Amino acid sequence: MPEGPDNYVPSTDRESPVGKPVIRGDPALTGQRPEEAIEFDPDDPESLELAARTVKKFSENTAGADDNVFILRGAAACAALVRGEGSYKAATERAGGEASVSFIRKWSRVHDLPRSVRIHVAKGEIAPTAAKHIARVSGESRLLLAWAALDHDLTVRQIRSVASSVNDGASVDAALARKGYALGELRTQLGRDAYCRLRRQAALDGASPGEVISEAIESYFDDGP
């Protein structure tokens, strides 16, 4: 089915292979050269052993606690270990140390977030601890919560609260409204010509600038590949 403004379905889960350093291997995002990024192959015994050691160190917080690359590497190791061992329990037993089923599950979910969200985690714009709560919700809700977190500079506590409300059945819109925030509200900077054209067209159409922007964006993606 072709995608359009009425049936657009964004990717809400990881599309690249588990353990592959898609984000960690991008120097523009992490400053790390591709050859430095560790790949965890759940089907390779040696790589799986490395994943188990990485998860153990990660759970014990023995290195790089404030390093987003280290955290994303730990999350990748968690996901690969689960895939290789077949269950959270088996992965926990293989890793040992302070690793628990809950710990490995939470960070595996972060690794499974879509690339569009993981990029912001790698750049430090979404805290890894906040990403854990974003990953708790499913479908489009996790994208909406991630974008709202960026737009409103939400704290980890606020994100956790919204995620809990969503999992209890509330929409992201309603959960954010309870905190005094509106979904889709953001501040941006336009070039002078674009700003003048936007304001002129909004006035002629009897619409708000936001309505003109929304229509233009929907048209752009509807006409795109």
**pLDDT tens digit string along 11-55?**
787 888 888 888 888 888 877 776 778 899 999 999 999 999 999
Domain span holding position 217: 192-223
- In this structure, the answer to whether residues 101 and 131 fall within a common structural domain is yes
pLDDT at 8: 55
Indicate the residue among 97, 120, 135 that finishes a domain: 135
% pLDDT > 70, the chain:
92
User: What's the chain's average pLDDT?
Assistant: 88
- In this structure, the answer to whether residues 80 and 182 fall within a common structural domain is no
- In this structure, the answer to whether residues 72 and 150 fall within a common structural domain is no
Q: Which of 162, 163, 71 is nearest to 124 (CA)?
A: 71
**Structure token pair of residue 5:** 């403004």
How many Å apart are CA 20 and CA 39, to the nearest integer?
5
- Residue 62 banded pLDDT, cuts 50, 70, 90: low
pLDDT at 4: 42
- In this structure, the answer to whether residues 18 and 91 fall within a common structural domain is yes
- In this structure, the answer to whether residues 107 and 197 fall within a common structural domain is no
Tell me what the mean pLDDT of segment 147-175 comes to: 96
* Distance, CA of 142 to chain centre: 8
% pLDDT > 90, the chain:
70
pLDDT digits (tens, 9 = 90+) for 78-122: 999 999 999 999 999 999 989 999 999 999 999 999 999 999 998
pLDDT at 223: 65
- In this structure, the answer to whether residues 161 and 60 fall within a common structural domain is no
pLDDT at 1: 29
How many Å apart are CA 197 and CA 181, to the nearest integer?
28
How many Å apart are CA 35 and CA 33, to the nearest integer?
5
- Between residues 30 and 225, which one has the greater pLDDT? 30
Give the range among 5-19, 126-140, 155-169, 181-195 with minimum mean pLDDT: 5-19
- In this structure, the answer to whether residues 80 and 51 fall within a common structural domain is yes
Find the Cα–Cα–Cα–Cα dihedral 220, 222, 224, 225, rounded to 10°.
160
Considering its fold, how many domains does the chain have in total?
3
Q: Is the pLDDT of residue 59 over 80?
A: yes
- In this structure, the answer to whether residues 183 and 198 fall within a common structural domain is no
Tell me what the mean pLDDT of segment 48-75 comes to: 83
Tell me what the mean pLDDT of segment 193-222 comes to: 93
pLDDT at 24: 85
- In this structure, the answer to whether residues 5 and 99 fall within a common structural domain is yes
**Structure token pair of residue 30:** 């992490």
How many Å apart are CA 212 and CA 46, to the nearest integer?
55
- In this structure, the answer to whether residues 158 and 207 fall within a common structural domain is no
- In this structure, the answer to whether residues 24 and 71 fall within a common structural domain is yes
- Residue 65 banded pLDDT, cuts 50, 70, 90: low
- In this structure, the answer to whether residues 130 and 29 fall within a common structural domain is yes
Q: Is the pLDDT of residue 151 over 60?
A: yes
